[in-house]
Structure 1
Amino acid sequence: MKKTIMLLTAVFLLAVARLAAADKWTGLSKYDSQNATLVAARNMGNRVVFMGNSITELWLSVDPGFFAAHSNFINRGISGQTTYQMLVRFRSDVVNLQPKVVVILGGTNDIAENAGLVYNENRTLGNIVTMVELARLHKIKPIVCSVPPCASYYWSKTATGIQLKILRLNERLAAYCKQQGLPFVDYYTPLVKGADNALNPDYTKDGVHPNLAGYKVMEPIILKAVSKYVK
């Protein structure tokens, strides 16, 4: 009997550990309380969800005034996430909030091979396409953004051919949006500089994430795209 109890306890603890690891990987619970508040609140029909990785998440802390000036903008970025992880939480962090618009910015961490995932361009494109399809199915206007320029990822030891991969993914995203009649926001062109296609050093401290000046370049671009659907 004692051995049985010990075995059941071990199985339970293993299950809990696996659930905790899965939650950490997906980030599903990160915005639970904020999402619950929004779901319960009156929806004015003008919500805009910014779905992304650290480039989106840090936007809120680097330039809080941007989101303060647009109270209908909802930041749902999670640092380090790939499009695989974004796709898993798309329902809880986007669909359930019933926004008018979703701004999708992802892919750079796929290329960086975060979470131990070898980069596969077709799958990354497919993840973004699936997010677009989910949004359209629920009558949410999707806006797809280009991956910002980057010459190297300071944390990645496996990523290679970064600049070419970013260019190719952006080309395919732009082509898909054109074919589907969807807005495509080009952050890449105004942020890139140099023969190595790096993020302009004036707009970054680490070569990957925009600084305040970088976000100030991005903001009028996304505002123009969003204004077509939300006034």
Structure 2
Amino acid sequence: MKKFIALFAAFAAFSTLLFADWANYGRYAKANEEVKASKNAPIAVFMGDSITDGWFGSRRQFFTENNYVGRGISGQVTTQMLARFQRDVVDLKPKVVLILAGTNDIARNHGPISLENIAGNIQSMCEIAKANKIKPVICSILPAAEYGWRKEIENVGDKIIEVNKMLQDYAKKNKIAYLDYHSKMVDERKGLPLKYSKDGVHPTAEGYAVMEEMAKPFIEKVAKSRN
């Protein structure tokens, strides 16, 4: 009996460590308080995974000079982003939120998930934004021909195109802005060309520059729109 109790206690402790702050609310907790204390609401929050995390980390001037905020967390799937959307987006009261998400879901970072549920999580973020008078922008998932850390996943490029089609249809039906990075950056393999990404998933400086050229005027247009 004592052995069983000891094993159960060890399992409980391990589970607590494993699942504590599963959505990583703590990552931007201090930064969010600083934004709120400044009383200078951002024009836009960029919500995403490692692609956004790397963007904000490596090209911060683009964000600071335009009053944008990056809220990307490496490795995250859409379910985690949906969970932290209140803290990392809504509470900051931006005019616009750009949602760039879904590639880690397709990579099964947290296990299998249907393409419909990936799109559904992004749609839910949009509905939360609209309910809080924040204008959502759905960003197309960036091209990828394969995932270096999940080489067993087949037809990655086709899956990304399929989710993007769902998102674009939803955006059109609900009068939500759709920012199509994919069409601008895709190559003949349905992936990212070498000049835009060294690993086929995360953009290079040149890749981010293309995205910035697209994002800035898009944000300005959405921020001024009446929708």
Does 2:63 align with 1:67? yes
In the aligned structure 1, how far is the partner of 2:209 from the partner of 2:108?
28
- Identical aligned residues as a percent: 39
- Residue 114 of structure 1: aligned partner: 109
Total equivalences in the alignment = 224
Contact 1:50 1:76 survives alignment (8 Å): yes
In the aligned structure 1, how far is the partner of 2:123 from the partner of 2:13?
33
Does 2:219 align with 1:201? no
- Residue 3 of structure 1: aligned partner: none
Report the Cα offset of residue 37 of structure 1: 1.5
Task: Give the aligned CA root-mean-square deviation in angstroms.
Answer: 2.3
Unaligned runs of 5+ residues in structure 2 are: none
Contact 2:135 2:223 survives alignment (8 Å): no
In the aligned structure 2, how far is the partner of 1:13 from the partner of 1:225?
51
Query: So what's the TM-score if we normalise by structure 2?
Result: 0.90
In the aligned structure 2, how far is the partner of 1:125 from the partner of 1:206?
25
- Residue 4 of structure 1: aligned partner: none
Does 2:128 align with 1:134? yes
Provide Cα deviations, 1:54-113, integer angstroms capped at 9, x if missing partner: 01000023322212322x211000001110111111111111111111100000001111
In the aligned structure 1, how far is the partner of 2:50 from the partner of 2:59?
14
The alignment partner of 1:118 has SS state of coil
- Residue 52 of structure 1: aligned partner: 48
Query: So what's the TM-score if we normalise by structure 1?
Result: 0.88
Contact 1:62 1:211 survives alignment (8 Å): no
Report the Cα offset of residue 18 of structure 1: 3.5
- Residue 173 of structure 1: aligned partner: 167
Unaligned runs of 5+ residues in structure 1 are: 1-6
The range that moved more, 13-22 or 179-188, is: 13-22
The range that moved more, 137-146 or 155-164, is: 155-164
Alignment of 1:206-217 (within 5 A): 206-217=199-210
Cα distance change, pair 47–18 in 1 and its aligned pair in 2 (3 A) = farther
